[in-house]
C-alpha cells in the first residue's frame, strides 16, 4: 500500500472517529437545555430524558436522538476501521438504540406529562422505544468492558470504573422509573449520570483512537 493511500485511509478513519467527539457532548447539551425550559411539570431529577419527546416541543428531543444515533453509527465504523471489531458492533448497537428511541416515543412515566399516572400500560410505540433503548444501554456497558484492554493500566482502570458506575446508575434509574420507593424522585438524576458517563467513555475512546 502506497504512502498516499495509507494517509488517505488514516484521514478517513480520523473523520469517522471525530463523530464520536461530537455525538455525546451535543446530545447532553441539548437534553440539559431542554430540561431547563421544558416546564409544565417536567422535573429533571424525576423524569427520564426520553420524556422530553412528549408534549410541546417534543420534536427537539426526537431530532436529538436521531442526530446522535447517526453520528454514533458513523463513529462505530471508525472504531471498526481501527481494528476493534467487537467494540465497534457494540457501539453500533448503542447508535441503533438511539435511532429507535427517536423513531418511537416513550410512554408517560412518573406523572409526566401532567395528569398521567405514575405508570401506564405499554403502547406499541412505548414497547418499541424500550425494545431499542434497553439493549442499547447494556451494549454500551459491555463495550466499556470489551474495549478496556490493550491500552495501558490507566485506560483499563478508567474503563472498568466507568462501566461499574454506569451500570449502578442505570439500575438505580430503572428502579426509580419502576416506582421503587425512595428512588422515584431521583430516577431522572441517575439516568442522566449514566448517560453522561457512557457518553464520556465514547468521547475518551474517540480521542484515544485518533491519537493512536
Of 53-57, 150-154, 205-209, where does mean pLDDT reach its minimum? 150-154
- The yes-or-no verdict on residue 111 having pLDDT over 60 is yes
- The yes-or-no verdict on residue 3 having pLDDT over 80 is no
- For the whole model, what pTM was predicted? 0.93
CB-based contact 61:52 (threshold 8 Å)? yes
Q: Which three cell numbers stand for residue 29?
A: 447539551
CB-based contact 109:50 (threshold 8 Å)? no
**What pLDDT does 2 receive?**
52
**What pLDDT does 125 receive?**
96
**What pLDDT does 149 receive?**
82
How high does pLDDT run on average in the chain? 94
**What pLDDT does 39 receive?**
82
Of 17-21, 79-83, 113-117, where does mean pLDDT reach its minimum? 113-117
**What pLDDT does 117 receive?**
87
- The yes-or-no verdict on residue 150 having pLDDT over 80 is no
What average pLDDT does this structure show over 160-176? 98
- The yes-or-no verdict on residue 5 having pLDDT over 60 is no
Q: Which residues contact 171 (CB under 8 A, 6 or more apart)?
A: none
**What pLDDT does 22 receive?**
98
- The yes-or-no verdict on residue 151 having pLDDT over 80 is no
Share of the chain above pLDDT 70, in %: 96
User: Taken in order 44, 50, 51, 55, is the CA torsion positive or negative?
Assistant: positive
What average pLDDT does this structure show over 42-46? 96
CB-based contact 3:65 (threshold 8 Å)? no
**What pLDDT does 122 receive?**
84
**What pLDDT does 121 receive?**
81
- The yes-or-no verdict on residue 7 having pLDDT over 70 is no
What average pLDDT does this structure show over 79-107? 97
The 10 Å Cβ neighbour count of residue 19 is: 21
**What pLDDT does 40 receive?**
84
Question: Where does the pLDDT of residue 6 fall: very low under 50, low under 70, confident under 90, or very high at 90 and above?
Answer: low
Domain ranges of the chain: 3-211
Amino acid at each position: 500500500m502506497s504512502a498516499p493511500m495509507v494517509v488517505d485511509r488514516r484521514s478517513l478513519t480520523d473523520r469517522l472517529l471525530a463523530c464520536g467527539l461530537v455525538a455525546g457532548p451535543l446530545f447532553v447539551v441539548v437534553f440539559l437545555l431542554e430540561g431547563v425550559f421544558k416546564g409544565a411539570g417536567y422535573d429533571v431529577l424525576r423524569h427520564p430524558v426520553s420524556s422530553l419527546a412528549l408534549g410541546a416541543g417534543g420534536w427537539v428531543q426526537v431530532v436529538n436522538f436521531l442526530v446522535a444515533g447517526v453520528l454514533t453509527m458513523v463513529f462505530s465504523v471508525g472504531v471498526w476501521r481501527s481494528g476493534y471489531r467487537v467494540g465497534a458492533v457494540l457501539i453500533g448497537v448503542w447508535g441503533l438504540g438511539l435511532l429507535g428511541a427517536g423513531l418511537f416515543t416513550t410512554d408517560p412515566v412518573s406523572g409526566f406529562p401532567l395528569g398521567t399516572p405514575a405508570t401506564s400500560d405499554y403502547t406499541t410505540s412505548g414497547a418499541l422505544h424500550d425494545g431499542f433503548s434497553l439493549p442499547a444501554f447494556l451494549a454500551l456497558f459491555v463495550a466499556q468492558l470489551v474495549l478496556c484492554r490493550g491500552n495501558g493500566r490507566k485506560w483499563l482502570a478508567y474503563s472498568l470504573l466507568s462501566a461499574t458506575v454506569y451500570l449502578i446508575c442505570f439500575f438505580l434509574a430503572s428502579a426509580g422509573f419502576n416506582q421503587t420507593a425512595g428512588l422515584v424522585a431521583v430516577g431522572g438524576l441517575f439516568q442522566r449520570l449514566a448517560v453522561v458517563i457512557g457518553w464520556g467513555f465514547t468521547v475518551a475512546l474517540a480521542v484515544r483512537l485518533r491519537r493512536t
